[in-house]
Amino acid sequence: MTPSEQVRLLVLMRHGKSDYPPGVADHERPLNARGRAQAAESGAWLADRLPPIDAVICSTATRTRETLSRTGIVAPTRFEEALYGATPATILEEISLSEPTVRTLLVVGHFPGLPETALILGGGVDSPAVRSVTTGFPTSAVAVLDTEQPWDALTPGASRLIEVFQHGR
């Protein structure tokens, strides 16, 4: 998939399956073995299906940072505490701060904010991708949207939800 000069790609990725070690705060929970494998598989899918990622915005939670590391994606990264437990409004605000020259942007975060954001931006038209996100957005799932809007002007319905990757589907 190669975007045209005007089209930007927004990639929303949920963190991999996390572990629940006793006494570890939610923000600090690491990935478990399945989560590490999922993140690597999602990274391979991204590398195979999309142009190179130009920039990343990642939650500061341990599991999101580990997910990003396991994808193998190397791009300028901004770690944002605000993405931890973020609403779609907060996610859109963080996206709006991205450089206008970024063509393919990856956001690594959490449920339910990421799938809600995907549906707000690109869920207005029924499609297999929209139905996939509507029926679930499991760990390490990836939603890809395209838009001609600049990052600082994304509005509901301004994008198309064009592809979704979920493990086992």
Please answer whether residues 79 and 104 qualify as being in contact, where contact means their C-beta atoms are separated by less than 8 angstroms. no
- Residue 3 covered by a domain: no
164 — phi, psi (to 5°)? -135, 135
Give residue 3's pLDDT: 47
- Residue 21 covered by a domain: yes
- Residue 2 covered by a domain: no
- Residue 60 covered by a domain: yes
18: CATH = 3.40.50.1240
Give residue 22's pLDDT: 97
- Residue 46 covered by a domain: yes
This prediction's pTM: 0.95
- Residue 86 covered by a domain: yes
CA distance 144 to 72: 18
- Residue 1 covered by a domain: no
- Residue 91 covered by a domain: yes
DSSP-assigned states of every residue in 58-113:
EESSHHHHHHHHHHT--S-EEEEGGGTT--HHHHHHHHHTS-TT-SEEEEEE-TTH
Number of domains within the chain: 1
Q: Residue 76 class from Cβ within 10 Å (0-12 exposed, 13-18 middle, 19+ buried)?
A: exposed
Give residue 111's pLDDT: 97
Give residue 169's pLDDT: 57
Taking 50 as the pLDDT cut, the residues of the chain under it are 1-4
For residue 12, what are the domain limits? 8-165
Q: Are strands 159-165 and 142-147 parallel, antiparallel or unpaired?
A: antiparallel
Residues in the chain: 169
